[in-house]
């Protein structure tokens, strides 16, 4: 049980069992134990869960329409959404994105601080480039100078964002927690009431949409920065579920269960009973 009294997840139990098993193996190797009591225990494989909170293209567009583009913060937030949906970046990767990493001429950004220390390049969409260009030239300088004084110490925060692309209203770096809070507000305003990860839903969604439109899973793997293609193939299972659901709903024969033609044997059996 957790500290909150809720049951542990299967993956947590597996991870702890593996740790205890390795500890006993180390104790045996050092001569503290004569045998490893957990050696015969087979640790089950980690349960792979399908990603939750995948938004449809229409829902993504609806979320993107929420920020007020007439304000500095609204334009910044819309630009962040465009970059998230174009590159599939994680929250930490977006917050650490730096101005020199953006190449609008080649429509590409260098993603740093990736999971496992892996950096990568990710392409930008045309809308993302347009928003980034205006944001960097017009709105980012205003944020760097601080547009929201915070008491007597607000001048200490101005300019502390250095060369980060996305800055807070105080001129400092954008944090992952604050980014999540901002995105969560817009998702709620867009009418998405089911549980979704406020930032990661963009990453899940772009991967699912690209695979659904026919992109090779290996290219999606490179875009997301997955070390193993098995991590990317999770989204193919999501597409299969969606395909099955859509097929069942819209296929003319799948939808007409009452009009299914009986087999000859069923007709004969029905006639005999009649």
Question: Residue 97's pLDDT is what?
Answer: 94
**Full strand arrangement of the beta sheet holding 108-111:** 102-103, 108-111, 120-123
pLDDT at position 240: 57
Choosing from 16, 29, 115, 148, the catalytic residue is 115
* Long-range contacts, 210-218 (Cβ 8 Å, 24+): 211/235, 211/236, 211/239, 212/239, 212/242
pLDDT of residue 132: 96
Active site residue 226: yes
Q: Catalytic: which of 90, 96, 157, 209?
A: 90
Domain spans, the chain: 1-47, 57-242
Q: How far apart are CA 44 and CA 235, in angstroms?
A: 23
Could you read off the pLDDT of 12-28 as tens digits, one per residue?
888 888 888 889 889 88
Check if 90 is active-site: yes
Token pair in block for residue 259: 């009009």
Q: What is the dihedral of CA 194, 198, 201, 206, to 10 degrees?
A: 130
78, 203, 204, 209: the active-site residue: 203
Which of 204-232 are b and which e, b meaning 16 or more Cβ less than 10 Å from the residue's Cβ?
bbbbbbbbeeeeeeeebbebbbbeeeeeb
Let me know if 135 is a catalytic residue: no
Q: Annotated catalytic residue: which of 75, 135, 139, 235?
A: 235
Predicted local distance difference test score (pLDDT) of residue 30: 87
* Cα distance from N-terminal residue to C-terminal residue, the chain: 60
203 in catalytic set: yes
pLDDT at 248 (0 to 100):
64
Q: Which member of 76, 96, 209, 226 is catalytic?
A: 226
Hey, is 167 helix, strand or coil? strand
Residues of the chain with pLDDT under 70: 1, 46-52, 114-116, 149-159, 228-274
pLDDT of residue 70: 95
User: Which residue in 200, 245, 248, 251 is the catalytic one?
Assistant: 200
What is the structure's pLDDT at 36? 86
Name the superfamily (CATH) of residues 57-242: Intergrase catalytic core (1.10.443.10)
């Amino acid at each position: 049980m957790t500290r909150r009294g809720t049951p542990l997840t299967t993956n947590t139990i597996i991870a702890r069992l593996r740790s205890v098993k390795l500890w006993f193996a180390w104790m045996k190797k050092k001569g503290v134990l004569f045998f490893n009591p957990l050696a015969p225990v087979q640790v089950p494989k980690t349960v792979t869960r399908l990603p939750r909170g995948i938004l449809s293209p229409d829902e993504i567009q609806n979320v993107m329409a929420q920020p007020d583009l007439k304000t500095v913060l609204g334009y910044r937030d819309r630009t962040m959404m465009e970059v998230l949906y174009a590159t599939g970046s994680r929250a930490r990767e977006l917050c650490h994105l730096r101005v020199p990493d953006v190449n609008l001429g080649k429509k590409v950004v260098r993603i740093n601080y990736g999971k496992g220390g892996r950096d990568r390049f990710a392409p930008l969409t045309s809308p993302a480039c347009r928003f980034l260009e205006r944001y960097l030239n017009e709105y980012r300088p205003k944020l760097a100078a601080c547009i929201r004084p915070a008491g007597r110490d607000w001048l200490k925060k101005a300019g502390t964002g250095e060369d980060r692309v996305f800055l807070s209203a105080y001129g400092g770096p954008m944090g992952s927690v604050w980014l999540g809070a901002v995105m969560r507000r817009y998702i709620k305003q867009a009418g998405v009431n089911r549980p979704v990860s406020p930032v990661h839903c963009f990453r899940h969604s772009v991967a699912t949409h690209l695979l659904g439109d026919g992109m090779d899973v290996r290219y999606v793997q490179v875009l997301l920065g997955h070390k193993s293609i098995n991590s990317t193939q999770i989204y193919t299972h999501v597409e299969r579920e969606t395909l099955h659901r859509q097929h069942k709903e819209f296929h003319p024969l799948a939808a007409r269960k009452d009009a299914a033609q009986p087999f000859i044997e069923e007709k004969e059996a029905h006639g005999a009973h009649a």
